[in-house]
Amino acid sequence: MSYKISIIEGDGIGHEIVPAALKVLEHTGLSFEWDFVLAGEKAVEEYQTPVPDSTIESILSNKLALKGPLTNLVARGWPSPNVMLRKNLGLFAAVKRARYFEGVGSPFKNADLVVVREAKEDTYAGAEQQVGSDAAIAIKFITKENSLNVANFTFDLARRLGRKKVSITHKANVLKLTDGIFLKSAQEAAKNYPDIECDSLMIDHMAFKLVNDSLDCDVILAPNVYGDILADLIAGICGSLGLGFGGNFGPEAAVFEPVHGTAPTIAGQGIANPIGEILSGAMLLSYIGEEQAAKTIENAVASVLKKGEFLTGDLGGTASTNDITDAIIREMK
């Protein structure tokens, strides 16, 4: 059996780390058919839109995609390609994960953190308006239906991953209506999962707790904007933004991608850390039931990081993207 997967290389370091991830996936011995499609800067050049219909059709047909990071084109007058993908594919939940690996310079030994970020609503819906010449407003839009969906998704995920606790993150003391709906909906969903402990923390307290007592944090459920920020924070806690990985989920498709962005200042130099992209590929394998192949990749990554011979600059080494990728492939047994 061959798995057909839509591939978006994306922008910046995407052109280096996505090929690295595909090389690792091919080395699992599974059979893949890559369906390369465009989004981001190249799509604007070729199709005059950040996400052409052909890209959406490919992903909806294959139901699976692996993507690199995409430049936010809002400043150039285009909608955000990531927001377009989420909206057009109905991706309502973004899972971001980061774990501690031995050999990586992080004081947070054994941290293994998951952030589930609501992915369709909040101020990232992009509803902004100028008010006079020197002021503007952004609308924070939160619905009970979507909050319940993402909360149920999170508790199901926690169960599937054998996790013990879900922490709902919010600022409902100030944003009583919007964050209030999110919090109440998540607490309502929690009642159907008595086997999973559930607590709720305000976003500022959550940020403090993550760096003060990260081992007591497990799965964090957050509205879109707080979740975006916490995703980078958990990657940093685990040693580098280059290590965070994840996937976006909806009823019709799942799109896997690392936590970080296009890293424009190092793009084209062959020095980007490909691990976030590689582990996103492993997460895709796990999602389609290829658990053994996913474990092989994770173990190979862990082994390369522990040995410390081939580390990229963000991890304190001098290895290239190709060096660390080849080292991971050599460890895949």
In the complex, which residue's CB is closest to ligand NAI? 261
CB 267 to ligand NAI: min, Å: 9
- What are the CA-CA distances from residue 46 to residues 28, 39, 196 (Å)? 34, 10, 48
Residue 103 or 276: the one with the smaller Cβ distance to ligand NAI is 276
* 314 lines the binding site for ligand NAI (CB under 6 A): yes
What are the structure tokens assigned to 89, written together?
A: 């594919």
* 272 lines the binding site for ligand NAI (CB under 6 A): yes
Query: For the chain, what is the largest distance between any 2 Cα atoms, rounded to a whole number of angstroms?
Result: 63
* 262 lines the binding site for ligand NAI (CB under 6 A): yes
Judging by beta carbons within 10 Å of its beta carbon (0-12, 13-18, 19+), is residue 76 exposed, middle or buried? exposed
CB 21 to ligand NAI: min, Å: 11
Residue in 52, 69, 236, 250 binding ligand NAI, rule: CB under 6 A: 69
What are the structure tokens assigned to 228, written together?
A: 């975006």
Contact (Cβ atoms closer than 8 angstroms) between residue 40 and residue 71: yes
Kindly state the DSSP code that residue 79 receives in the 8-state scheme. Answer: P
* 71 lines the binding site for ligand NAI (CB under 6 A): yes
* 75 lines the binding site for ligand NAI (CB under 6 A): no
CB 275 to ligand NAI: min, Å: 8
CB 237 to ligand NAI: min, Å: 14
Residue in 261, 280, 286, 320 binding ligand NAI, rule: CB under 6 A: 261
Kindly state the DSSP code that residue 123 receives in the 8-state scheme. Answer: G
Residue in 276, 280, 286, 290 binding ligand NAI, rule: CB under 6 A: 276
Q: What is the DSSP string of 38-76?
A: --SHHHHHHHSSSS-HHHHHHHHHHSEEEE------GGG
Residue in 41, 257, 290, 323 binding ligand NAI, rule: CB under 6 A: 257
Q: CA-based angle 86:250:6, to the nearest 5?
A: 70
CB 51 to ligand NAI: min, Å: 12
Judging by beta carbons within 10 Å of its beta carbon (0-12, 13-18, 19+), is residue 16 exposed, middle or buried? buried
* 241 lines the binding site for ligand NAI (CB under 6 A): yes
Residue 31 or 265: the one with the smaller Cβ distance to ligand NAI is 265
Contact residues toward ligand NAI (CB under 6 A) are: 13, 69-72, 82, 241-242, 257, 260-266, 272-273, 276, 314
